[in-house]
Amino acid sequence: MRTLTKEMQKKITPTDAVELLKKGNERFLNNLKVNRNLLQQVTETSEGQNPFAVIISCMDSRTSPELIFDQGLGDIFSIRIAGNVVNEDIIGSAEFGCKVVGSKLIMVLGHTQCGAIKGAINDVQLGNLHFVTSKIRRSIPSVSSQAEGDLTCGVTRQNVIQGINDLKANSPILAEMVRNNEIKIVGGIYDVATGQVEVLDLDQEVLGYMMKEPSVNLTEGVH
């Protein structure tokens, strides 16, 4: 597996970046992994990094982005927080990843059976957890009014959408990059029972698994 160089990163389009994650999740679902020499990747990234994506995910131990998307050292920025909520620190980190380092995609990744989502729905009071649950609870009204469907699933999905909106609304830098087609901001829902990620795009609703091949083949020159 080739370690990402700056030249390779520049060739990746935002759509390519989505596809690279999808193909990685397909490998994960089929219990396959790209052959990587991780120690060699340590050496190759020792003086710099060129991740193609920023993933904002929950701290849940079952949802490691590097594993579920089959990515190696230097491939993705992984930002993890309970409930995959978005705050100022996370927005700043995403701005750094995209504007400074050159990542082409931000994914807000939620997951099924999320404890933070359940805690927000049940209005659990525990120390500083309310900073997380208060952000999630913003998503409840638009879901609880629906007569059908599981509330936890609905809030999980809406919380991802809320995170995408928070990124766009609170970062002029990221909003401009989206307008200029320099990056995409999408959502994802990871199913802890199956290992599959459903990709959500607010502009295209739900993205299916497209057949288009990325312009950069990261599996060339396998180490």
Statement: the pTM of the whole predicted model exceeds 0.85: yes
Q: Would you state the pLDDT for residue 24? A: 97
Nearest CA among 222, 223, 196, 202 for reference residue 21: 196
- What pLDDT does 145 receive? 65
How many of the other CB atoms lie within 10 Å of CB of 76? Answer: 26
Contact 184, 108 (CB under 8 A): no
Q: What is the predicted pLDDT for the residue at 215? A: 44
Helix ranges (H only) for 45-196 are 65-68, 88-95, 115-121, 130-137, 140-144, 151-170, 172-179
Phi, psi of 127 (to 5 degrees): 45, -125
- Supply the pLDDT for residue 80: 98
Residue 219 is predicted with a pLDDT of: 45
> Which residues of the chain have a pLDDT value below 50?
147, 206-216, 219-223
pLDDT of residue 211: 31
pLDDT of amino acid 142: 85
Give the pLDDT confidence score for residue 203 in this predicted structure: 73
The full set of domains in the chain, from first to last, is 6-206 (3.40.1050.10)
